[in-house]
Amino acid sequence: MNARLLAVLSSLTLCLAASRAEAQQDAVLENVVVRNRLFSVKNRLEASVSAGANVTTRLTAHYVFDAGLAYNLLESLAIEGRAGYAASRHTGLADSVAEQYLSQRSENTQAVDELSDLWEMGAHVVGGLRWAPVYGKLSLLEELPVHFQSYLWLGGGMARLSRESLLVCTQVVDRARGICDNRTVPEDRSSATETYWAKDSRTAPVVSAAWGLRFFVGQHHGVRLELRDWVFRDSYRVNLERALYEAGQETGTFEPHPGLQHIVQFDLGYTFLF
């Protein structure tokens, strides 16, 4: 009886020892795989393309397309330049606000302030640093480990900005319906090819910051997910007199402390490493 019990206990001890050794070996291999990167990016050039859209759309919507070129100074530090174009538009909410205001009778309106956050970004170019302190591995399948970097990006540049007013109509077509464009169907905004709302444009400095993940596929390819914020100084008029601007006269003054406008977007991109 004692001999049989001793044999069973010995067998269990050996099994536990073997399992522990195997687990330790797997842990060592895992650490080596993560520590020894899938490949080195240091001193390598890379090119990328990406497309993104606003995370939230209140008064404007942006669809941003970028191309970039980067050089990896270190495994975790790179310098990158990006250039692109943003296709933008007013949202349905912005168009509704404009039509509702225009349809009000002139005697029922007082001096008003333009709305903030109405600038739309077009062509832009920025440069910055990308810092990737986190490198890891995801085991999606037993035989398909996916290596990734988590990074922060900070830089600045210049952007072409345009603005279309929601209050100042330079040519009222139909006040009752709030129409300030050349639409052929009164109920259909999309039938217009030109609007008569006051427009402004400028070229301004822009700061850009981002957080992202890069997933490496093979030795040369990568997929990028990124959350990016574009920041620039806002600008708009206050104390506008409707009778004056509809008569083509200057009115109002620029807000002295307009604050900053943010365009926050989510990006999906592809990277090729040379």
- Can you spell out the DSSP letters for 257-269? ---EEEEEEEEEE
Ranges 30-34, 56-60, 96-100, 159-163: which has the least confidence: 30-34
Q: Is 156 exposed, middle or buried (0-12, 13-18, 19+ CB in 10 A)?
A: middle
Contact 103, 169 (CB under 8 A): no
Q: Average of pLDDT values for 84-103?
A: 92
> Which of 24-28, 34-38, 210-214: highest mean pLDDT?
210-214
Q: Average of pLDDT values for 60-83?
A: 95
Q: Average of pLDDT values for 88-111?
A: 83
pLDDT in tens, 253-268: 999 999 999 999 999 9
Q: C-alpha angle 128/131/133, rounded to 5°?
A: 175
- Delimit the domains of the chain by residue range: 1-36, 42-273
Ranges 86-95, 167-176, 191-200, 243-252: which has the least confidence: 243-252
Ranges 156-160, 210-214, 239-243: which has the least confidence: 239-243
Could you tell me which residues are beta bridge partners of residue 161?
121, 202
Contacts of 162 (CB under 8 A, 6+ apart): 88, 119, 120, 122, 199, 200, 201
d(CA 64, CA 173) in angstroms, rounded, equals: 33
Q: Whole-number mean pLDDT of the chain?
A: 84
> What is the predicted pLDDT for the residue at 94?
92
Contact 213, 219 (CB under 8 A): no
pLDDT in tens, 208-231: 999 999 988 778 888 999 999 999
Q: Average of pLDDT values for 62-69?
A: 96
Which has more pLDDT, 140 or 41?
41
pLDDT of residue 44 exceeding 70, the answer is: yes
Reported pTM: 0.79
Contact 227, 266 (CB under 8 A): yes
Strand, coil or helix: 81: strand
Strand, coil or helix: 43: coil
User: Residues of the chain with pLDDT > 70: what percent?
Assistant: 81
> What is the predicted pLDDT for the residue at 134?
87
Q: In what helix (H) or strand (E) does residue 29 lie, and over which residues does it extend?
A: helix 2-35
Q: What is the CA radius of gyration of the chain?
A: 29
Parallel, antiparallel or unpaired: strands 45-54 and 60-72 = antiparallel
H-state helical runs in 36-80: none
At 1, the pLDDT band (50, 70, 90 cuts) reads very low
Q: In what helix (H) or strand (E) does residue 93 lie, and over which residues does it extend?
A: helix 92-102
CATH code of domain 42-273: 2.40.160.20
Q: How far is CA 166 from the centre of its chain?
A: 25
d(CA 249, CA 168) in angstroms, rounded, equals: 11
DSSP letter assigned to residue 106: G
Q: Is 266 exposed, middle or buried (0-12, 13-18, 19+ CB in 10 A)?
A: middle
> What is the predicted pLDDT for the residue at 39?
65
Q: Average of pLDDT values for 119-139?
A: 91
pLDDT of residue 186 exceeding 70, the answer is: yes
